[in-house]
Amino acid sequence: MTLRFVLDTSIFVNPEIRKDFGDNPTEAMKTFLGYAEKLFGKVEFYMPPGIYREVMHFVDEELKPEIELYIIKKPPNLHDLKIPAFVVYELIDDIRRRVDKGLRVAEKAVRESVVETDNVDKIIQKLRRNYRKALREGIVDSKEDFELILLAKELDATIVSADVGILTWAQKMGIKWIDASAFKDVLEGLVEKLGGKNL
């Protein structure tokens, strides 16, 4: 059975994660491609088109031929793939809780602005930060994230991401996942186990 991984943008662009691969997205991609070359024919790496486009905004165009060779671009089959109703049920419930939480964050900011009228700009910045955290942290909040999950489900592949929302929903849907912070170690282990050389 071929091992399959569905890769998220965070591996290459999140500074905390990519530091194991390189100082910038292009260097991180080059390091990854070194592993992919050693595992070619034994391990498959996938990206949905939306994730691929995101990554290519950060990576030098000169790497495109190698990326095309080692990373398979594939959209999930949106017409035939079925997801359990509980997933939609939980998503709706989660969104409702987040909207209520966001409202409380906004109310608190309004109260603070009435008391501290000279710090309105700081209060607005704090409101934006807390509101974003309340509504977006730990949730699948883009089509690209959802495509990643659906593709992994369709392929019975392992998601590699640092996004808490993606990993949370992968777990809820019974999809295998690896936190991107451990991915380099996984790749090194695979190279060693499958007969290649460590980088």
User: Domains in the chain, please, with CATH?
Assistant: 3-78+144-196 (3.40.50.1010), 85-135 (no CATH)
174 has pLDDT over 50:
yes
Alpha-carbon gap, residue 62 to 197, rounded angstroms:
25
How confident is residue 173, by pLDDT bands cut at 50, 70 and 90? confident
Between 36-40, 55-59, 65-69, 128-132, the lowest mean confidence (pLDDT) is in 128-132
What is the DSSP code string of the chain? --EEEEE-THHHH-HHHHTTT-SSHHHHHHHHHHHHHHHTTTEEEEE-HHHHHHHHHHS-GGGHHHHHHHEEE----TTT----HHHHHHHHHHHHHHHHHHHHHHHHHHHHHHH-GGGHHHHHHHHHHHHHHHHHTTS--SHHHHHHHHHHHHHTPEEEE--HHHHHHHHHTT--EEEGGGHHHHHHHHHHHTT----
Residue with tokens 């793939």: 81
CB atoms near residue 171 (< 10 Å): 12
Question: What are the backbone angles phi and psi of residue 165, rounded to the nearest 5°?
Answer: -65, -45
pLDDT tens digits, 27-50: 999 999 999 999 999 999 999 999
- Kindly list the distances between the CA atom of residue 49 and the CA atoms of 73, 74, 82, 126, in Å, as whole numbers in the listed order: 6, 6, 20, 34
Q: Contact 51/148 with Cβ under 8 angstroms?
A: yes
Confidence (pTM) = 0.75
State both tokens at 84: 């359990």
| 39 backbone dihedrals φ, ψ, rounded to 5° | -100, 5
Residues in the chain: 199
Question: 43 - beta bridge partners?
Answer: 3
Q: Which two tokens stand for residue 41?
A: 């024919």
pLDDT tens digits for range 82-109 = 776 666 667 667 777 766 777 777 777 7
